[in-house]
């Protein structure tokens, strides 16, 4: 029987199970991978319970994680663990689908598809002609060059490259602004697609920002940067942390609401 539980209510059991080993499950297409881990931390991030763990670069699991970004922790032993594992595969698929749904990024890449970039609703528009041009935004349209040589794959590549460039430029400039506002600066910033959060700050002063944040307006992007920068000082979500965020971003509560 499947039952939704409050993870934090079961924190003690989870952490006790972790001592003897739990399964970290990940899946990419038909490839399912489970590795046993006995290290990790349960906590709260962006008001959601999170489980943080480390996986060596050399592990097969690591490759799958980098690709899909979604994993599941299965707690239990023997037959029970096997059942949990099966349920988790469904959950992983579902989470990936939901995250994609939420982003406002292109799914079909077809002419007329509605997407969101920098908080603006846009329509993908194919422009046919002999002259090739790089995609650009005008009159609430993301215009893409198509010709008799164009394939759905080449359109997808053009649009993805445009969005990746835009994300990089916008996140870079919002991070610069956030550094000025907070007076805090990271050692390294990475922009990459992530599946379960908008940003991440790890203890070696390295910040990762989810490139998909480019669907939101610049205030939201700046807030995500400020949020992660404040973690350089407060590695938690304590009242002190939020007070620090508020100093640089007084309307962070409304922004968080917009990003839900
Ligand atoms: Zn946080």
Going from N- to C-terminal start, the domains of the chain cover 7-102, 114-164, 165-258
Distance in angstroms between the alpha carbons of the first and the last residue of the chain: 30
Token pair of 15, please?
């952490």
Strands laid side by side in the 114-117 sheet: 114-117, 120-128, 141-146, 136-138
DSSP-derived secondary structure for 17-35: HHHH-EEEEEEETTEEEEE
Cα–Cα distance measured from residue 39 to residue 62, given in angstroms and rounded to the nearest whole number: 15
Cα of 153 vs its chain's centroid, Å: 24
Q: At what angle do helices 218-230 and 152-182 cross, to 10 degrees?
A: 60
Mean pLDDT for 99-116 is 85
Mean pLDDT for 190-214 is 91
Expressed in angstroms and rounded, the spacing between residue 1 Cα and the centre of ligand 1 is: 33
Expressed in angstroms and rounded, the spacing between residue 202 Cα and the centre of ligand 1 is: 10
**CATH for 165-258?**
3.30.2010.10
Expressed in angstroms and rounded, the spacing between residue 234 Cα and the centre of ligand 1 is: 9
Cα–Cα distance measured from residue 190 to residue 136, given in angstroms and rounded to the nearest whole number: 25
* Structure confidence at residue 95 (pLDDT): 64
Token pair of 111, please?
């002419």
Q: Which residues contact 199 (CB under 8 A, 6 or more apart)?
A: 207, 208, 209, 210, 213, 224, 225, 227, 228
Instruction: Grade residue 159 by pLDDT with cuts at 50, 70 and 90.
Output: very high
Instruction: Grade residue 118 by pLDDT with cuts at 50, 70 and 90.
Output: very high
Mean pLDDT for 233-250 is 96
Expressed in angstroms and rounded, the spacing between residue 20 Cα and the centre of ligand 1 is: 29
Expressed in angstroms and rounded, the spacing between residue 237 Cα and the centre of ligand 1 is: 6
Expressed in angstroms and rounded, the spacing between residue 183 Cα and the centre of ligand 1 is: 18
Expressed in angstroms and rounded, the spacing between residue 220 Cα and the centre of ligand 1 is: 14
* Structure confidence at residue 43 (pLDDT): 79
Instruction: Grade residue 82 by pLDDT with cuts at 50, 70 and 90.
Output: low
Expressed in angstroms and rounded, the spacing between residue 201 Cα and the centre of ligand 1 is: 8
Expressed in angstroms and rounded, the spacing between residue 45 Cα and the centre of ligand 1 is: 5
Expressed in angstroms and rounded, the spacing between residue 258 Cα and the centre of ligand 1 is: 17
Token pair of 250, please?
């007084």
Percentage, residues of the chain above pLDDT 90: 53
Mean pLDDT for 167-183 is 98
Cα–Cα distance measured from residue 254 to residue 217, given in angstroms and rounded to the nearest whole number: 13
Q: Whole-model pTM above 0.85?
A: no
Cα–Cα distance measured from residue 32 to residue 42, given in angstroms and rounded to the nearest whole number: 24
H helices of the chain, where?
11-20, 60-68, 78-103, 152-182, 218-230, 239-248, 252-258
* Residue 117, pLDDT above cutoff 70: yes
Mean pLDDT for 59-85 is 71
Expressed in angstroms and rounded, the spacing between residue 170 Cα and the centre of ligand 1 is: 20
Q: What is the mean pLDDT of the chain?
A: 86
Asked whether 189 and 209 are in contact (CB, 8 A), the reply is yes
Expressed in angstroms and rounded, the spacing between residue 199 Cα and the centre of ligand 1 is: 8
Is the model more confident about 135 or about 2?
A: 135
Is the model more confident about 198 or about 97?
A: 198
Cα–Cα distance measured from residue 163 to residue 105, given in angstroms and rounded to the nearest whole number: 9
Mean pLDDT for 77-95 is 67
Is the model more confident about 148 or about 209?
A: 209
* Residue 149, pLDDT above cutoff 70: yes
Q: Which residues contact 10 (CB under 8 A, 6 or more apart)?
A: none
Expressed in angstroms and rounded, the spacing between residue 229 Cα and the centre of ligand 1 is: 9
* Structure confidence at residue 102 (pLDDT): 64
Asked whether 184 and 235 are in contact (CB, 8 A), the reply is no
* Structure confidence at residue 78 (pLDDT): 57
Expressed in angstroms and rounded, the spacing between residue 165 Cα and the centre of ligand 1 is: 25
Cα–Cα distance measured from residue 243 to residue 59, given in angstroms and rounded to the nearest whole number: 39
Percentage, residues of the chain above pLDDT 70: 87
Expressed in angstroms and rounded, the spacing between residue 51 Cα and the centre of ligand 1 is: 13
* Structure confidence at residue 208 (pLDDT): 96
């Amino acid at each position: 029987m499947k039952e939704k539980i409050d993870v934090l209510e079961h924190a003690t059991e989870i952490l006790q199970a972790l001592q003897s080993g739990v399964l970290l499950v990940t899946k990419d297409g038909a490839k399912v991978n489970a590795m046993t881990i006995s290290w990790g931390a349960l906590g709260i991030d962006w008001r959601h319970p999170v489980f943080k763990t480390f996986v060596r670069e050399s592990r097969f699991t690591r490759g799958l994680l980098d690709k899909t970004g979604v994993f599941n922790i299965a707690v239990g032993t023997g037959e029970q663990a096997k059942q949990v594992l099966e349920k988790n595969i469904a959950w992983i698929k579902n989470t990936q689908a939901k995250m994609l749904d939420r982003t406002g990024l292109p799914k079909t890449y077809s002419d007329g598809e509605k997407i969101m970039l920098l908080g603006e609703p846009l329509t993908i528009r194919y422009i046919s002609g002999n002259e090739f041009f790089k995609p650009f935004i005008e009159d609430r349209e993301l215009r893409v060059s198509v010709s008799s040589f164009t394939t759905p794959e080449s359109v997808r590549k053009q649009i993805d490259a445009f969005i990746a460039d835009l994300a990089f430029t916008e996140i870079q400039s919002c991070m610069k602004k956030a550094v000025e506002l907070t007076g805090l600066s990271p050692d390294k910033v990475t922009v990459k697609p992530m599946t379960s959060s908008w940003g991440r700050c790890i203890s070696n002063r390295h910040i990762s920002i989810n490139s998909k944040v480019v669907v939101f307006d610049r205030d939201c992007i700046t807030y995500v940067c400020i949020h992660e920068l404040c973690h350089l000082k407060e590695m938690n979500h304590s009242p002190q942390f939020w007070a620090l965020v508020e100093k640089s971003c007084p309307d962070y509560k409304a922004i968080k609401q917009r990003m839900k």
